[in-house]
Structure 1
Amino acid sequence: MTQDSDAPLRFFFHPRSRARIVRWMLEECEARYEPVQLEFRTTMKSAEYLAINPMGKVPALTHGSTVITESGAILAYLAELFPEKRLAPAPGTAARGSYYRWLFFLAGPVEAGMSAKSQGFLEHQSDEQALSAGYGRYDDVLATLRQAVEGRQYLCGDHFTAADVLMASYLRWGMMMGSLPALPAFKAYAEPLQQRPAALRALALDEALDEALAAA
C-alpha cells in the first residue's frame, strides 16, 4: 500500500473536453472523488493549476501527492487503483499486451491523426510528411481502428477494460466531430458500450453541467 492509497481523488475537468473520458472511468470504478471544474483560458491557466499541469489543460487527477495527466494515463492509473473492478487484464497475458497496445495507439497516432484531420493538415500531405508523422497516413489510422474493433465486443480478451473506455470515447468523439467517419464497425462496437450504466451516469453529469454553461 502506498502513502497515497487512502488519499482523496481530485478530478480537474471541463464538461466540454476530453475529461469526459475520465469521468466515465471514474464512474466505472465507482470512485469517490472531488470534481474541480476549470474554465478555458482563465482558471486552466492560473498559477495554481499550472503547478499541477503546466500544459494548462484538462483532464488531470490528483491522488494525494500524485499527479496524473493525459487521459490514457489516468485511465490506466485508475484501473490499477481499483483492481476489484477488473478494468485491466492480468499482467503477463496476451490481453494485457493488447491493452497496452490500444491505450498507446489511441493516445498517440489516433489523437494526432484526428487532430490533423480536424485542422485540415492532411489535404496536401506529402510522402515525406507521412514517413515522419507518428500516425503515418490518416487512412492507415482508420484501417487499424477498424481492424481493432470489427466483430468485437471488447478490445482485450473477454471482458470490458479501460482500453474500451478510451476506444469508445475516441470513436464517439471522432464521429460526432467529423474527424472519423461513421463506419458501421465503429458504431457496432462503440454504441453498446456507451449504454453501460457508468457511461450513462457520466454523460448525465457532464450534460447537466454543459446545459448550465449554455444557460449562463
Structure 2
Amino acid sequence: MPLDLIFYTNPMSRGQIARWMLEEVGEVYESVILDYGEAGMKSADYRAVNPMGKVPAIVHRGQVVTECAAICAYLADAFPAANLAPPPDQRHAYYRWLFFAAGPVEAAVTNKALGFIVPEGRERTAGYGSFDDTIDALETAVAGDQWICGEQFTAADVYVGSQIDWGLSFKSIPSRPRFESYVARLRERPAYKRQKEIDNGLIAQMQKPE
C-alpha cells in the first residue's frame, strides 16, 4: 500500500531542502528519485504532478505541493507535533523571511550567478533592488545567536538556512560572520545530517561508473 506522503526529488537539486524538512518532521515518507530527462521529470506522468517538470514535489494524501518554501510551510502545518511553526499570532518573522528568501533572495542570487546586473536606476523594476541590499537585509534575519523566530527552530530556518548554506558553499552569497555562525548551528542538527547522508549516498550511487 502506498504511503500517505510521497516525495519526488533528485539528490542534485533543491530537493535537498524538502528532504531536510521531511527529516525534521520525522514522518515516514516514500522517495521517488527522478532524473532530468524525458523519462523522469519531463515525463507525462510526473508533469501530471508538477506541470513545470521539476523537483521537488510532495503528494500528501493525494494533495500536491510544489516549491520548496511552500513545501516547508505546508509540512510544518500538516504535522504540528514537530513544532516547526510558531503559533499563528507569532508568525510575523516566520512568514516575512520565508517569502523574502523565496522571492528577493532567490532572484538576486540567481541573477548575479547568471551575470545579470540590474541597470542603474531600474532597481524598483527588479523588485529586490540590488544584490547588495538583498544580502544586507538577509543578514538581519540571522543577526542573533538563536533562530529566525527566536528560541524556536522553524521551517523558516530550513528554507532560509538552505539558501544561506548553499550560497556559502557555492560562493553565491558572500561569507559574513553572522552567516557563518548561523550555518554552523544548522549543520549540527540531526535532521540536517540525515539529509546530507541520504542525498550524498544517492549522488555517489548515481555517479558510479556503469
Q: Smaller-chain TM-score range?
A: over 0.9
TM-score (ref. length: structure 1): 0.92
CA distance in 2: counterparts of 1:41 and 1:187, whole angstroms: 36
**1:36 and 2:29 equivalent?**
no
Q: How does 1:32-71 map to 2 (within 5 A)?
A: 32-42=28-38, 43-71=40-68
CA distance in 2: counterparts of 1:135 and 1:31, whole angstroms: 36
Q: How does 1:69-84 map to 2 (within 5 A)?
A: 69-84=66-81
Identity %, equivalent residues: 47
CA distance in 2: counterparts of 1:79 and 1:146, whole angstroms: 24
CA distances 1:144-201 after superposition (whole Å, capped 9, x unpaired): 0111112232001311000011111111111112210111110101111121011101
Partner of 2:154: 161
**1:143 and 2:104 equivalent?**
no
Give 4+ residue runs of structure 1 displaced > 3 Å after superposition. Answer: none
State the 1:128 CA deviation: 3.8
Point out where structure 1 has 5 or more consecutive residues left out of the alignment.
1-6
Contact 1:108-1:134 at 8 Å conserved across structures: no
Q: 1:180 aligns to what SS in structure 2?
A: coil
Q: 1:44 aligns to what SS in structure 2?
A: coil
Partner of 1:126: 119
Partner of 1:203: 196
Point out where structure 2 has 5 or more consecutive residues left out of the alignment.
none
Task: Give the letter aligned to residue 103 of structure 2.
Answer: G
CA distances 1:31-53 after superposition (whole Å, capped 9, x unpaired): 11110000113310000001110
Q: 1:41 aligns to what SS in structure 2?
A: coil
Let me know the Cα RMSD of the aligned residues: 1.4
**1:99 and 2:94 equivalent?**
yes
State the 1:91 CA deviation: 0.6
Q: 1:215 aligns to what SS in structure 2?
A: coil
CA distance in 2: counterparts of 1:135 and 1:211, whole angstroms: 37
Q: How does 1:171-186 map to 2 (within 5 A)?
A: 171-186=164-179
CA distance in 2: counterparts of 1:193 and 1:22, whole angstroms: 15
